[in-house]
Structure 1
Amino acid sequence: MSKHKNKLTARNFPSAKDEARQAQARPTPDYDGPNSAYRLAFTDDDFMLREELRPVRMQLELLKPELVQQEQGIKSTIVMFGSARIPDQASAEIRVAEAQALGDAATLKRAQMQLQMSRYYEEARRFAGIVTRESLARGNPIYVVTGGGPGIMEAGNRGAHEVGGKSIGLNIVLPHEQHPNPYITPELCFRFHYFALRKMHFLMRSVALVCFPGGFGTLDELFEALTLIQTGKCRRRPILMFGRDFWSRLINFELLIETGMISPGDEQLFHFVDSAEEAWALLESEYDLTQTHHD
């Protein structure tokens, strides 16, 4: 009869998960109360949420998405920024019809503008589909990453989902609760407290940034990326701005050059595009998409 042999690589100590489960399964009534200091530090929410633990919480927000993406084999991403307020075309058409039925001129004007802007939702959706499908076909998947919410963010995740690809959502806790859109791959749907760490994860794996019309949040993300590239803090990569007319009216780049606020040539840090196909063609011209990844 053969003797049972121990596994050579067996753990020398119980895991933190094992000990946490054991502590939960066998509580100590005299010490496990709400005000007790007896709880394991890493399972004690009151302790983990102390002001002094902010550096630890920041480290955790950096580590969790990083480790999950490593495990999922995600090496290259395309970041899609844009307004949460831009609807899909079908929804916008319904709002126009409802506004027409109401007979209110101001409501109708707003609905018609939303319908006009909905073309950006549809372009974002098509672009995300092209990126996901074409990069998978070349053996170098590029994953769409968005802020996880509605509008342009939803369009990006939706486009990837519709062609059978995975996509990432980096959600943020806001005073008015943001709900993840239904097209994010569940195991890649993250939630952040710190804006700064969310922004880091947008850029860490990105091979390009695609910016659709948006408000303060979109402008914040766009100009931070431009600043990091302009100052050499991160490598240069394509920044595509969808909608030449929108961006040209919103930002007077010529004035920035004329007044010396940016240097001649800084306007070449980004490209205007007006269609999903134009954006994809630019990326194809920038990268060898058949090149094998090396760790």
Structure 2
Amino acid sequence: MISERVIMQPKRTNKFYDNHEFIHSPDGRIVRILAEYTGPQQLFRKKKVKDTVVFFGSARLKPQDVADLALSQAQANSAPETELAKLRRAVHTAQYYEKARELSRRMTEWSMGLKNGQRRFIVATGGGPGIMEAANR
């Protein structure tokens, strides 16, 4: 008579990095931060990105033409002074949007002009809007 042997499989432990509830909890924050740091590093290595120029800034800034148009329309519609003051500030700060756009363009052109295929500087942003959008344009 052949005896049956029961082979016990080791119990699999649940990994906390696979635990959705943990990862999205306050205690899992450090793991999420680490992933946001190491994930892009891995992607940069794969894409052979050596250096980045990172743009940070206000997400509220608008392009000059958009800010100018909003102010003109508000003035034509006799908007309240508080609204006009806000729009005047937007027109004034739009210069920084335009400057970020120009700097990003210049950095990209300079990097693309480097000899021996050393286009090593890539403009990186958080995506936008505002200054980050300007740098992406």
TM-score range, shorter chain: 0.7 to 0.9
The counterpart of 1:98, out of the listed 73, 77, 82, is 73
Judged with a 3 Å threshold, the aligned counterparts in structure 2 of structure 1 residues 52 and 120 are, in CA distance, closer, same or farther, namely closer
* Contact 1:82/1:151 (8 A) holds in 2: yes
1:149 aligns to what? 128
1:83 aligns to what? 58
1:126-275 map, 5 Å: 126-138=102-114, 139-158=118-137
Higher gyration radius (CA):
2
- Within 2, Cα distance between the matches of 1:148 and 1:79? 11
SS at match of 2:127: coil
Question: 1:92 Cα shift?
Answer: 0.7
Quick one: which amino acid aligns to residue 24 of structure 2? L
Judged with a 3 Å threshold, the aligned counterparts in structure 2 of structure 1 residues 44 and 87 are, in CA distance, closer, same or farther, namely same
Quick one: which amino acid aligns to residue 119 of structure 1? Q
SS at match of 2:54: strand
The counterpart of 1:60, out of the listed 21, 24, 35, is 35
- Higher helix fraction (1 or 2): 2
- Within 2, Cα distance between the matches of 1:55 and 1:84? 25
Quick one: which amino acid aligns to residue 106 of structure 1? T
1:111 aligns to what? 87
- Within 2, Cα distance between the matches of 1:97 and 1:47? 51
Quick one: which amino acid aligns to residue 90 of structure 1? D
Q: Which runs of 4+ in 1 moved over 3 A?
A: 37-44, 47-58
The counterpart of 1:44, out of the listed 19, 26, 33, is 19
1:21 aligns to what? none
The number of aligned residues is 122
* 1:10-59 deviation digits (Å, cap 9, x = unpaired): xxxxxxxxxxxxxxxxxxxxxxxxxxx98775543124335554443333
- Within 1, Cα distance between the matches of 2:39 and 2:126? 16
RMSD of aligned alpha carbons: 2.5
The counterpart of 2:44, out of the listed 69, 75, 94, is 69
Quick one: which amino acid aligns to residue 155 of structure 1? A
SS at match of 2:124: strand
Judged with a 3 Å threshold, the aligned counterparts in structure 2 of structure 1 residues 118 and 49 are, in CA distance, closer, same or farther, namely closer
